[in-house]
Structure 1
Amino acid sequence: MPKENKEKKNTEIKIKETPFWKKYRIAIIFATLAIIIAGTGITYAYMNQSTPPATAKKETKNTQAEKTTPSNERHLDGRRVAIKDANKYPVAVMIENLSPVRPQAGLGQAQVVYESLVEGGITRFMAIYDLSEKIDEIGPVRSARPYYLEWVSEYDALYAHAGGSPEALQAISGFNIHDLNQIGGAQGYYWRSDSVPAPHNLFTSTELLTRAINDNKLADVEPTYTPWTFTDDPEDNKKSTDKEVQATAASNISIDFSSPSYKVEYAYDATTKEYLRSNGGVPHTDKNTEQQIRAKTVVVVSIPPVTDVGEKGRITLSIHGGGPVRIARFGEVITGTWKKADRTARTEFFDARGEKIDLGRGNIWVEIVPEDKGVEFK
């Protein structure tokens, strides 16, 4: 018998002769299989928990790459600020410009200022603040007019004022404006000065306006208005870029709203690349700083002439649609068009090529001037 067969025979005889194996061999086989299967399952589960699939890792990488980097360009005026301060909720404050009340407080520290005619040939300001800078006194605060709501609505701003014309108060309610009417129950956000006769003695501050923002639950609301486009200061003596070849020199601007007391002038300061403002033939200063008011950009929006004179000489202005615009910054003026589709739409500025006009980074003054009033750039 060959050796191989002999060993096999001996093994078989040995197994047959083992009572334990004979009695429990089926149980042993099943137990061994169960241990193998359980071990495989544990290994699979561990591998699934500790090592994510390759596709998941790839998707995470792609998602992170698509995130937009937050901008540090402040939405109101284009200045470079901390990212957390770039898009704070805006407040619009109505400020008087009756010649005897000058100098006003806080005008020079506003990010954006709108100036427009009201009754009697006087002008009134609507100053926009993001409240990032501490201002102890802002005012005198005066009443609302309906056409200012067209600009308030662009920003969906909190609107600070003291009363208003019947048309304005009705519109504020109908348009669901975030209202901060001192005469309508918001007295706690203002005070009256004993040193100035009423009604020219109403003031507020960024501290009180910040409290109003919090009380109106607007502090955590992210504004959604579209910022204007901005550009950095050009190098000294550098002319406009090819995009803006239609720009011409503009060192001086004059606007005749009505009487000499309301004539506005801007003179370019080449050192700071800003326009210095004068009103009524004298430098227009800020009461808080005692410094002449400066504008990085002056926007002159041309609108149709006054269309209606109502009760107490109140006027109606056409703000919708579009028309000519001249934008002065860096000592030059660009001629183009402005467009505003409806009340809540952003006013946009386009050059002759149809491209948006970039504004300088800094304080912006928007002059709303009926086309029959005198405006000169030189």
Structure 2
Amino acid sequence: MTRTGRGAGLGPARAVLLVAALLALTACGGEEPATPVTETVDAEVAADKGTPPTPEVPLVWPLTGVAAEEVADRPALAVKIENAQQARPQTGLEQADVVWEEVVEGGITRFVAVYHSQVPELVGPVRSVRPMDPAIVAPLHGVLAYTGGQEPFVDAVEAAGTQSVVMDEGDDGFVTTRARRAPHNVYASPEELWAQADDGRAAPPPAQLVFAREPGTGTATATGTEAARLDVRLTFASRAVWEWDGGEGRWVRSEGDAPAVSSDEVRLAATNVVLLAAPLQNTRFKDPAGVPVPETLLVGTGDGVVASGGRQVSVTWSKEAVDAPLVLTGADGAPVELEPGTTWLELVPLGSGSWEIG
């Protein structure tokens, strides 16, 4: 969008030029002086001196910062995807713009995969909502799809201003497969999930993270220290490893020592990996097995790392409210810019979790 400044010139003006021609006749003529002649002429109109136009900002996909010729008019779609061993390999994770990994009960993890720029045919396995999900998805003002969940968690999603599409409530878009046992057999069609978005959720999501304008100029890439491997210990049972692939220009993921791939045998990878040390506490709610349901506390601030371009930089993360976006700042207090592309965020439990960078 180009904004044009308001013109600085004045409107047309009239200037009166008085021309008095006093003809002195010879004394012998004895004639009366001639009547003065008055002539009105237009003043010169000042040129319109409008302010220079604001430089046009390139169009990019809001959740990746990747240049786009056109951005689709659809909301962000977040889907709860399982990461238990029985759920692997997952479907559609490789096409998500943003993926959050969170710790749930039993020491396992789940993903909140956010889609906008790409439209997978299917995603899954889809699972239930957890108490930290509203803080993750609320800033997107979009849709969250999941199989079900305890009533307080479901209510919290609505209270955060996010629309729920829920299998247990009879919503469309979910399918089951005989190839896997329940509850690891539920998948969803993003097209059908998007079709159920409320009328007020037709616009693209607001940008969440700050991306560099040009590839190769992100904060970590430009100023960080070299990093070839991120070893992230989430729980006693969950460990994510990210290794820099210079040939591909991205971080490739492993579940422990096993390469993480999609159901289409595509290696899971990310342009940016963000590590966030955040408090994890048990809620008063329990799962069907009687295990307390934990919640990652995302409203607050803490330490973190941004890894891009085979380099890493320490950051401070902050989030002012449930519906406020995540903010990443460097040691100088300036916003940290990510590389244009996909981003995975690891919610590492403060105290019990850890990471090693080599």
Number of the residue aligned with 1:91: 77
Query: Is 1:248 paired with 2:222?
Result: no
Number of the residue aligned with 1:229: 211
Residues 68, 290 of structure 1: alpha-carbon distance in 2 compared, 3 angstrom cutoff: same
- Among 214, 220, 224, the alignment partner of 2:202 is 220
Query: Is 1:201 paired with 2:185?
Result: yes
Number of the residue aligned with 2:62: 75
Residues 253, 207 of structure 1: alpha-carbon distance in 2 compared, 3 angstrom cutoff: same
Residues 202, 327 of structure 1: alpha-carbon distance in 2 compared, 3 angstrom cutoff: same
Query: Is 1:369 paired with 2:348?
Result: yes
Residues 88, 227 of structure 1: alpha-carbon distance in 2 compared, 3 angstrom cutoff: farther
1:339 aligns to what SS in structure 2? strand
After superposition, the CA RMSD in angstroms is 2.4
Percent of pairs with identical residues: 25
List per-residue Cα deviations over 1:19-44 (Å, max 9, x = no partner).
xxxxxxxxxxxxxxxxxxxxxxxxxx
List per-residue Cα deviations over 1:311-355 (Å, max 9, x = no partner).
232112211111101000111110010010001111010010011
Correspondence list, 1:17-96, <5 A: 58=48, 66=53, 69=56, 71-85=58-72, 88-96=74-82
Matching residue's letter, 2:128: S
Residues 308, 211 of structure 1: alpha-carbon distance in 2 compared, 3 angstrom cutoff: closer
* Number of residues of Structure 1 aligned to a counterpart in Structure 2: 308
Residues 134, 153 of structure 1: alpha-carbon distance in 2 compared, 3 angstrom cutoff: closer
Residues 304, 276 of structure 1: alpha-carbon distance in 2 compared, 3 angstrom cutoff: same
Q: Does structure 1 conserve the Cα–Cα contact (< 8 Å) formed by 2:208 and 2:326? A: no
List per-residue Cα deviations over 1:59-102 (Å, max 9, x = no partner).
9x76xx656735322110111122334x7421000000111210
Runs of 5+ unmatched residues, structure 2: 1-44
Q: Which has the higher helix share?
A: 1
Query: Is 1:266 paired with 2:266?
Result: no
Runs of 4 or more above 4 Å deviation: 65-68
Q: Does structure 2 conserve the Cα–Cα contact (< 8 Å) formed by 1:309 and 1:316? A: no
Q: Which has the higher strand share?
A: 2
CA distance in 2, matches of 1:308, 1:210: 31
CA distance in 2, matches of 1:167, 1:250: 41
Correspondence list, 1:283-322, <5 A: 283-287=259-263, 289-306=264-281, 308=283, 310-311=285-286, 312-322=291-301
Q: Does structure 1 conserve the Cα–Cα contact (< 8 Å) formed by 2:160 and 2:322? A: no
Query: Is 1:276 paired with 2:252?
Result: yes
1:149 aligns to what SS in structure 2? helix
Relative to the length of structure 1, the TM-score reads 0.75
CA distance in 1, matches of 2:282, 2:123: 32
CA distance in 2, matches of 1:305, 1:220: 34
CA distance in 2, matches of 1:134, 1:364: 17
Report deviation, 1:374.
Answer: 2.1
List per-residue Cα deviations over 1:104-149 (Å, max 9, x = no partner).
000111000000100010000000001x434111001100012111
CA distance in 1, matches of 2:107, 2:335: 32
Relative to the length of structure 2, the TM-score reads 0.79
Number of the residue aligned with 1:126: 112
Q: Does structure 2 conserve the Cα–Cα contact (< 8 Å) formed by 1:145 and 1:167? A: no
Q: Does structure 2 conserve the Cα–Cα contact (< 8 Å) formed by 1:89 and 1:218? A: no
Report deviation, 1:220.
Answer: 3.4
CA distance in 1, matches of 2:71, 2:55: 15
List per-residue Cα deviations over 1:175-200 (Å, max 9, x = no partner).
342111111231x2111112211121
Matching residue's letter, 1:125: F
Query: Is 1:137 paired with 2:117?
Result: no
Number of the residue aligned with 1:342: 321
Q: Does structure 1 conserve the Cα–Cα contact (< 8 Å) formed by 2:95 and 2:119? A: no
Moved more, 355-364 or 132-141: 132-141
CA distance in 2, matches of 1:171, 1:351: 32
Report deviation, 1:259.
Answer: 3.3
CA distance in 2, matches of 1:250, 1:120: 31
CA distance in 2, matches of 1:150, 1:310: 18
